[in-house]
Amino acid sequence: MVALVIAALIAVTTVPSYRDHILRSRIPEATSGLLLTGMRLEQFYQDHRSYASGGTTSCGVALPPAGQFTFNCVVPTDGQSFLLSASGRGDGAMANFGYTLDHLGAQRTTALPAGWGDAPANCWVEKRMAGC
């Protein structure tokens, strides 16, 4: 009986920490994907003087493949700015996470799950209750 109580106490304290660790390990997929795509867009801009492809409002570079996050790129008609976003897929554990990067390098957290802190935040929140 004592062993069962001890096992239950250990489970109660370690399972939430393990879950947070798993979530934190998946966030770099979003942040690194945004940074890499932003860098590729800057290189595209140097060659074409626009972030847009061929006079359209679509990004001049390919977006990262969807995994735990789906990526989106918004370029206005003048092609002189961009907003990249990574949103957690609705069918997974990352569903409530959202991050953005713009042409000025501003990093924002647009969505966080309950208990992780307040969004929006003017940084990428990568840890529970971490601030900017």
3-state secondary structure the chain: CHHHHHHHHHHHHHHHHHHHHHHHHHHHHHHHHHHHHHHHHHHHHHHHCCCECCCCCCECCCCCCCCCEEEEEECCCCCCCCEEEEEECCCCCCCCCEEEEECCCCEEEEECCCCCCCCCECCCCCCCCCCC
* Integer Cα distance of 56 and 36 in angstroms: 22
With 80 as the cut, is the pLDDT of residue 11 above it? no
CA of residue 111 relative to chain centroid, distance? 9
Q: For 21-38, how does the pLDDT look when each residue is reduced to its tens digit (9 = 90+)?
A: 889 999 999 999 999 999
| pTM of the model as a whole | 0.85
pLDDT tier for residue 15 given thresholds of 50, 70 and 90:
low
Count CB atoms within 10 A of the CB of residue 98.
Answer: 19
Q: For 67-126, how does the pLDDT look when each residue is reduced to its tens digit (9 = 90+)?
A: 999 999 999 989 999 999 999 998 888 999 999 999 999 999 999 998 898 899 999 999
